[in-house]
Amino acid sequence: MARRKRAAQRKACSFEVAGLFDHGSRVARARSMQHGSTDLKPHLPNHPTQLYLIRHGEVEERYHKVFGGSRIDMGLSDLGRRQARAVAAWLADTSLDGIYASPLLRVQETLAPLAQASGLKPVIIPSLREVDFGDWTGYRWEGVKEHFGVSAFDWLEIIEEAGIPNGESGHELAHRVRPALEKILHDNPHRRVAVFCHGGIIRVILALLLGQPLKHMAHFNIEYGSISVVEIQPEKKHAFEIELLNYCPPLA
């Protein structure tokens, strides 16, 4: 019953995502070419691989709505630890072959229940750390407007086009994340692997796979403790499929 329910959740999500990107995809490609973007779409292997992209759980309350990025190494809240246990429980009957992760504390605390239950040793990849928000680091979302004169809600577009002062640009992010993604895919033929990281990095991975500008990933909610599943299918017309997006397992 649990497997049938999970399959239904994935199928419903897959149709929703496909519909979103079928609509307006030509416009997205045109804009990307207009801005002179380099084609950073990763080299996909010739074997299928299933990626479970997992965002860390909710962070400590004092860091809610704060741009922490890669510079503030915060831990999880009580709710975040419950979300970590929920992720582990939901993946309990999935035969994972490996775990990859950002080195930051909030990610390490999120993956701990799954690593303990599965016996898998996480592979730490420094380039999966969160975005460097530069001068925005430590500011609350509402404070960004006051101090920098821009809306924090446009952060993906700002990163890609103007850049945050002393922070990473969209181009730098893509160059950082792409080699890690390629290595994970090429090292795991016909396997299922979990990648524990951050909301910003999950959006970068999706943008790389889709060949779309990073700012278009603002349409996707990637919540604390959520699971998104991407399957690389090189033998099919579409090289990959998003099977599940932003699914938050029920808390115990």
pLDDT tens for 15-68 read 333 333 333 332 232 233 233 333 567 887 788 899 999 999 999 999 999 999
Q: What is the CATH number of the domain that holds 177?
A: 3.40.50.1240
Residue at 58 is within a domain:
yes
Residue at 88 is within a domain:
yes
Report the pLDDT averaged over residues 132-147.
96
Residue at 132 is within a domain:
yes
| pTM for the structure as a whole | 0.85
Whole domain around residue 32: which residue ranges? Answer: 2-247
Share of the chain above pLDDT 90, in %: 73
Residue 168 has pLDDT above 50, yes or no: yes
Taking CA atoms, 216 is separated from 16, 44, 97, 155, 158, in Å, by 16, 22, 31, 11, 12
Distance CA 132, CA 114 (A): 27
For tokens 């994340």, the residue is 177
Residue at 238 is within a domain:
yes
Strand pairing of 123-124 and 49-55?
unpaired
Query: pLDDT value at position 48?
Result: 87
Residue at 155 is within a domain:
yes
Report the pLDDT averaged over residues 159-187.
94
Contact in structure between 91 and 127 (CB atoms under 8 Å) = no
Residue at 16 is within a domain:
yes
Residue at 252 is within a domain:
no
In the chain, how many domains are there?
Answer: 1
Report the pLDDT averaged over residues 205-224.
93
Query: pLDDT value at position 238?
Result: 63
Query: pLDDT value at position 162?
Result: 84
Query: Who has greater pLDDT, 94 or 162?
Result: 94
Residue 204 has pLDDT above 60, yes or no: yes
- Output the average pLDDT for the chain: 86
